[in-house]
Amino acid sequence: MSSADDVLAELRALRAHDLPTHGGRTLAYVYDSGLAGLDELGAGAHALASSANGLDPTAFPSLLRMENDLVAAAARLLGGTADTAGAVTSGGTESCLLAVLAAREGRRDVADPAIVLPSTAHAAFRKAAHLFGVRAVHVPVDPVTFRADPAAMAAAMDEHTVLVVASAPSYAHGVVDPVGEIAAAAAERGVRMHVDACIGGWVLPYLRQLGVDVPAFDLSVAGVTSISVDLHKYAYCPKGTSVLLHADASLRRGHYFASADWPGYTMLNTTVQSTRSGGPLAAAWAVLRHLGDDGYLRLARDTLAAVREIADGVARLDGLRVLGTPDSTLLALATEGAEAGFDLFTVADEMKARGWYVQPQFAHETSPVNLHLTVTAANRGSEAQFLADLTASVAAARQAGPVRVGAELEEFIAALDPDALTAEQFAGLLAAAGLGEHGGGAAGALPDRMAPINALLAVAPARLRERLLLEFLSQLYRP
């Protein structure tokens, strides 16, 4: 046996290799309120309930109470009524999956069910289509604003359509789709409409209170039948909690599951999971109760100030611009002009060297390569430092010049059929990308500079990129 202290010391040493989750230096994946004591509250509440099992709400009524409280809080914030029903899930992806599943199950009469998605919809909906045998119909968004095109969305709906989706806002560009127009078109055809407010649901209502012109996007909009909001994003709760709301309980019925046909307990599930830890639920419940509306309003005020300061700074920065006109707390930074003379992938590496993580996003339709920033309350106060480091990173990237993928390699990639790749071709490409055998271990598996890898991935079509990165993942996950 190892002492508990030793084990925790070992864990701390492992965590030291991770990106920092606090301090505002990691501008994707993590959400930091910057408030002292909030982590400890979440951890304490998590510990109190993590052994309890949401599988049976009659055995653990505390979890039932807390889940109903979270659903009620989300409904209050997002235009719910007395009829609103919901479920607490493990995260945004699970909430989106369940919205699709419920819609498919609600239309068992449709033999070839389809969902209509703006091309900017989160990949979780593609996963849902893949898992549940539903066809995903992708509708290009406006080429300049990156908002869903309501007329094109309406035209894409047909007798197969069981669900239409809009984002509030989209992850990649931070813009809110025209929910009202899309919802009206869906309602007219008797089609369900899901609003993916996974990332915006807990901050947009507060931004509106602060005077930001936030278009109506929630259950108060006629025709919206469900909405998702992740508590582990802008509700600043520990990871593992999202809420899916339905306009009424009948719409939820399709993602409930029961099986009495085996010798064990009758399995009754509201979500994908069966055994469900009470930990994330209790942690979220505690954080919500502690912060309250006034706490979230303050956090939103700080976040908004940080977003504006960063966006203004980028506008002044020679060579970079903000893509589109973001409605929320997410920014996508692209180069100015086609021939910028530097590479954003290099800028990301330079920022990493200066202690900041910004997330590269590949080109898609009219959206060029860009750097994603998820701005949170913890970014307030360090905007000037961020902008100074960004300016220095652009200068360094200019100095280095754009990353070039050799013409030969580019031709080789263009000729590949992602569905018929051999193990040797995979190994060759991974090696060319610098993603060869790493022998497992997570820490230190990646080279310091990702620009050459990203440049190579950028010339690969999306399908090939998927195959390559899954192969890489399969190499990482080896004991």
Chain residues that interact with ligand PLP, rule: CB under 6 A = 91-93, 96, 122, 124, 167, 171, 196, 198-199, 230, 242
HEC states along the chain?
CCCHHHHHHHHHHHHCCCCCCCCCCECCCCCCCCCCCHHHHHHHHHHHHCCCECCCCCCCHHHHHHHHHHHHHHHHHCCCCCCCEEEEECCHHHHHHHHHHHHHHHCCCCCCCEEEEECCCCCHHHHHHHHHCCEEEEECCCCCCCCCCHHHHHHHCCCCEEEEEEECCCCCCCCCCCHHHHHHHHHHCCCEEEEECCCCCCCHHHHHHCCCCCCCCCCCCCCCCEEEEECCCCCCCCCCCEEEEECCHHHHHHHCEEECCCCCCCEEECCCCCCCEHHHHHHHHHHHHHHHHHHHHHHHHHHHHHHHHHHHHHHHCCCEEECCCCCCCEEEEEECCCCCCCCHHHHHHHHHHCCCECEEECCECCECCEEEEECCHHHCCCHHHHHHHHHHHHHHHHHHCCCCCCHHHHHHHHCCCHHHCCHHHHHHHHHHCCCCCCCCCCCCCCCCCCHHHHHHHHHCCHHHHHHHHHHHHHHHCCC
Least distance in Å: CB of 205 to ligand PLP?
16
Least distance in Å: CB of 412 to ligand PLP?
34
Nearer to ligand PLP, 171 or 236 (CB): 171
The answer for 30, left when phi > 0, alpha when psi is -120 to 50, beta otherwise, is beta
Whether 394 contacts 319, CB under 8 Å: yes
Least distance in Å: CB of 127 to ligand PLP?
9
Tokens of 184: 């009206």
Alpha carbon distance 333, 321 (integer Å): 6
Nearer to ligand PLP, 332 or 430 (CB): 332
Least distance in Å: CB of 168 to ligand PLP?
8
Tokens of 325: 């006109």
Nearer to ligand PLP, 60 or 296 (CB): 296
Q: Closest CB to ligand PLP belongs to which residue?
A: 92
Nearer to ligand PLP, 106 or 280 (CB): 280
Least distance in Å: CB of 219 to ligand PLP?
17
Nearer to ligand PLP, 198 or 237 (CB): 198
Nearer to ligand PLP, 198 or 314 (CB): 198
Nearer to ligand PLP, 118 or 452 (CB): 118
Least distance in Å: CB of 224 to ligand PLP?
15
Nearer to ligand PLP, 32 or 230 (CB): 230
Nearer to ligand PLP, 28 or 110 (CB): 28
Whether 78 contacts 227, CB under 8 Å: yes
Least distance in Å: CB of 71 to ligand PLP?
17
Least distance in Å: CB of 436 to ligand PLP?
28
Nearer to ligand PLP, 74 or 394 (CB): 74
Least distance in Å: CB of 218 to ligand PLP?
14
Least distance in Å: CB of 116 to ligand PLP?
16
Nearer to ligand PLP, 281 or 430 (CB): 281
Q: Give the residue carrying structure tokens 């007395």.
A: 82
Least distance in Å: CB of 239 to ligand PLP?
8
